[in-house]
Structure 1
């Protein structure tokens, strides 16, 4: 009887010790995001942390730092230096460091020539950008390596519109206007419309509009609530200029990535598919909801662009798609830009036909995982 009790006690102690060791061996990943707390971006980051723990069997956990550890302007350098282990990098904020990835991102206005519903554009572009960088652009991935990072995936906004403090519906209205932009393609669009492009952090545009430093921001409508722009924007012009903001939804500090085992790296890829789908889906829904809300508010007027502005916009897009490659060759010495865009275009067109029936973030995450993220060889990628 005593031997049985002694053996039982030993087994219980062994089980407890194993559990404690398992907990002790769990690795915590610090995930930074420039999105404010309780926003679409921070909630998608929370889903990332949940998916990490779930898919790693508890050996990898995540702690999310919304707009505290690093803001968007600081993100790339902060990940490089190990201030955070992972985070969402807005690539246009570091254009010199990521010229090839930005070249791909600037081609998002190609979506204007597809039949995609407006709110589904980001779903297609996020999938297409991830597939292209992982499978067709080693030189893009090398840009992340040079920043001591490992590229882990893409997310995308909904189509960009004009969020303004006065009516802007014609080409004439745009002349001289100060337009905040989030990328070089929209800066070129502003210049083509004889407006003045203004480079400003997304975290500063509320103040810019409210104080009259800006007349408009070229933005997707979810920012009306994410950054409280609903309080200062009084006029919205839909359908122009178009395009989406495609960026790195998850970049990993390279030293941290290489310290993980195979299962943990697979968990990172799975969690990236989840967070990329989650934020992209949430943007799509917020785009629909915010436009509906704006139409109901007395303080905001939603406009359709004039026929002349629509035609000027399409003319610009056609011409700009031919100029992107030469602009990047002149500025960054990228000699194969035309080939990059030629290779990327059919991938966008393919993805435009893959998201029509997506009806939930879970379905989008499954699509991203099956088509892209599950196929990444995590024992070679990032080494």
Structure 2
């Protein structure tokens, strides 16, 4: 009887252990950026550590850095096919695949701040199901967002007037940015940010748009010494996405941790970015490594916002969104909230 009881207890213990193990999740986060390279990768690492901390050892996230598993243009497909579970979707690189979630990149320049854009995108995802439905077509689910801060343009030569922009080869992507650069008289060159350093070093590019910390993180400020402070305003950057089937299969405790990242990650991202911008500008002022040129605001806005092609791009988003399934009234509401 005692032997049978011991056997029963042992079997029960093994069963409970196996049951506990079965609910443990090992998520994979894949990133094209090197670990610690900039605010994007540092806050992604914060998120991975924070999920591990909140899971208290029950679940974990493995961080895969530097394009070892996924390149920037491969992220949505890699998440869709479960090569990685979570990754950064750079929406402006996929304007045709994600027209609804590319609302903001069609409106450059625009007046909203980085924080305002982040809150808007989460608000739209909460109020308008078309945003989430578009991601779900590719088995993607929003985890959180990364709004870009206000951008300037870093160049290998000084740009002080509109005439100085004429003929400059400037890194570009998406649809609104090329139109804006052409309105300035520049030549847009389609290129991902990871390739910017080599292109600036070799004279393939004269300039690249970016915020101050981004220019340091990608080492553009090592080869381009003039930061042109133009009023481009903030824009849309990345959506952290997760495979929706993977998410739906998660245990409830881990689902809650992931859900809490929506607001918590955005707040951490904004905090880290604000400090980095302040520190970078202070360092430039102190060491003279980069000259910040205050470009005439009125000249920039007149050249861009009064340009027919820029206005055509802005108007085209409503058409794209309605073709993708969003009611026209909803699309117009999104535009009003973004531009006013």
Normalised by the size of structure 1, how large is the TM-score? 0.76
Which of 123, 126, 129 lines up with 1:131 in the alignment? 123
What is the SS of the residue equivalent to 1:251?
strand
Q: Give the drift of 1:200.
A: 0.5
Q: Which range is displaced more, 31-40 or 304-313? A: 304-313
Over 3 Å counting, the alpha-carbon distance change for 1:316 and 1:210 in structure 2 is farther
Over 3 Å counting, the alpha-carbon distance change for 1:330 and 1:86 in structure 2 is closer
Cα deviations by residue, 1:78-113 (Å, 9 ceiling, x for unpaired): 11111100111101222221011112443364325x
Q: Which range is displaced more, 22-31 or 83-92? A: 22-31
What is the SS of the residue equivalent to 1:245?
strand
Which of 309, 317, 322 lines up with 2:299 in the alignment? 309
Q: Which range is displaced more, 17-26 or 298-307? A: 17-26
Give distance in 2, aligned partners of 1:174 and 1:349.
Answer: 26
Which residue number in structure 1 is paired with residue 34 of structure 2?
Answer: 36
Which residue number in structure 2 is paired with residue 107 of structure 1?
Answer: 107
Q: Give the drift of 1:227.
A: 1.1
Match status 1:296 vs 2:286: yes
**Superposition misfits of 4+ residues, deviation over 6 angstroms:** 10-17
Match status 1:231 vs 2:222: yes
Q: Give the drift of 1:139.
A: 2.2
CA contact (8 A) 2:142 2:241 kept: yes
CA contact (8 A) 2:108 2:235 kept: yes
Query: In angstroms, what is the RMSD of aligned CA positions?
Result: 3.3
Q: Give the drift of 1:207.
A: 0.9
CA contact (8 A) 2:79 2:85 kept: yes
What 5-or-longer segments of structure 1 have no aligned partner? 113-120, 351-383
Which of 3, 7, 25 lines up with 1:27 in the alignment? 25
Over 3 Å counting, the alpha-carbon distance change for 1:132 and 1:72 in structure 2 is same
Q: Give the drift of 1:193.
A: 1.3
CA contact (8 A) 2:143 2:261 kept: no
What 5-or-longer segments of structure 2 have no aligned partner? none
Give distance in 1, aligned partners of 2:312 and 2:229.
Answer: 25
Give distance in 2, aligned partners of 1:330 and 1:42.
Answer: 31
Give distance in 2, aligned partners of 1:51 and 1:347.
Answer: 32
Q: Give the drift of 1:127.
A: 1.5
Which residue number in structure 1 is paired with residue 259 of structure 2?
Answer: 269
Give distance in 1, aligned partners of 2:314 and 2:338.
Answer: 17
CA contact (8 A) 1:44 1:278 kept: yes
Q: Give the drift of 1:236.
A: 0.6
Give distance in 2, aligned partners of 1:13 and 1:336.
Answer: 55
Match status 1:178 vs 2:181: no
What is the SS of the residue equivalent to 2:72?
coil
What is the SS of the residue equivalent to 1:190?
helix
Number of positions where the alignment pairs a residue of Structure 1 with one of Structure 2: 334
Normalised by the size of structure 2, how large is the TM-score? 0.85
Which residue number in structure 2 is paired with residue 219 of structure 1?
Answer: 210
Q: Give the drift of 1:29.
A: 0.8
Q: Which range is displaced more, 308-317 or 212-221? A: 308-317
CA contact (8 A) 1:328 1:334 kept: no
Over 3 Å counting, the alpha-carbon distance change for 1:79 and 1:288 in structure 2 is same
Q: Give the drift of 1:166.
A: 0.5
Match status 1:86 vs 2:86: yes
Give distance in 1, aligned partners of 2:242 and 2:133.
Answer: 13
CA contact (8 A) 1:124 1:348 kept: no
CA contact (8 A) 2:100 2:321 kept: no
